[in-house]
């Protein structure tokens, strides 16, 4: 993750690629958190 942030601080094509990768990783983390939240709700209901 640190390398992506460092790439975002520089200029050029690497910045655009790094920003895209950060967006993708953010979406993946968002889906994982939602799945864990749903799983926790199932365990609480049982």
- Which of 4 and 35 is assigned the larger pLDDT? 35
pLDDT at res. 13? 77
pLDDT band at 1, cuts 50/70/90?
Answer: low
What residues have CB less than 8 Å from 30, skipping those under 6 apart? Answer: none
Residue range 8-45, pLDDT digits in tens = 677 777 777 878 888 999 999 999 999 999 999 999 99
Distance, first Cα to last Cα, the chain: 37
pLDDT at res. 39? 96
pLDDT at res. 40? 96
Asked if the model's pLDDT at residue 4 lies above 70, the reply is: no
């Amino acid at each position: 993750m640190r390398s992506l942030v460092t790439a975002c601080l520089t200029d050029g094509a690497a910045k655009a690629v790094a920003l895209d990768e950060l967006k993708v990783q953010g979406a993946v983390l968002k889906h994982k958190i939602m799945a864990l939240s749903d799983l926790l709700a199932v365990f609480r209901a049982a």
